[in-house]
Amino acid sequence: MADRTFSDAELRRHANLAAHAGARAEAKARQAMEAAQEAWSEAGKAWREVTTILGMLAPNDAGDDERPRGARPVDHIPSHRSPPQDGEGVYVTINRSPFYVWPSTYTGAEIRRFQHPPIRDDYDLWLVGVGEDDRLIRDDETIAIDRGGIRLFSSPHTINAGAPRAET
């Protein structure tokens, strides 16, 4: 097969076609990347909304300060002033139930009474650690609730897997 030689005009034409095709491909890749970023952003917003509603993710973790739907004011702690109204106070989530309270320090015993009925004495109260281990909260320990989105949960002191349930 004989080698073909190209004229300067043909070489320029092929170079221009290649550059144009490369520019088109680059523009299409840029559009696809922007569409993917937008879709990813929308998916992230939807995920944060769903998990916030379910109480699985504190809204502060999602980057907003909106109070979860259904948050109830804690109005049965006699040592604190009247319960916060809409737009006042901060919210906490205990066992996936949202409550809102005045920013303050509370003892573990007071936090147990946020729920009605209160968390039983045979249960431990835990503070959910974001990026760290969960922390056991004793009844006499003081916790600062100074921002929304603090999450707590309770669990039995003792878990005997496979043991029959005790009659109550």
Which amino acid does the sequence have at 150? I
The reply to whether 47 and 79 lie within a common domain is no
The predicted-structure confidence for 77-128, as pLDDT tens digits, reads as follows 544 445 666 667 788 888 888 887 888 889 999 899 888 788 999 999 999 9
Determine the structural domain holding residue 36 and report its residue range.
7-53
The reply to whether 142 and 76 lie within a common domain is yes
The reply to whether 94 and 150 lie within a common domain is yes
The reply to whether 79 and 152 lie within a common domain is yes
The reply to whether 118 and 87 lie within a common domain is yes
What is the domain count for the chain?
2
Confidence band for 129, pLDDT divided at 50, 70 and 90: confident
Residue 99 lies in a domain: yes
CATH code (residue 148): 3.10.20
Among candidates 125, 115, 120, which has minimal Cα distance to 75?
115
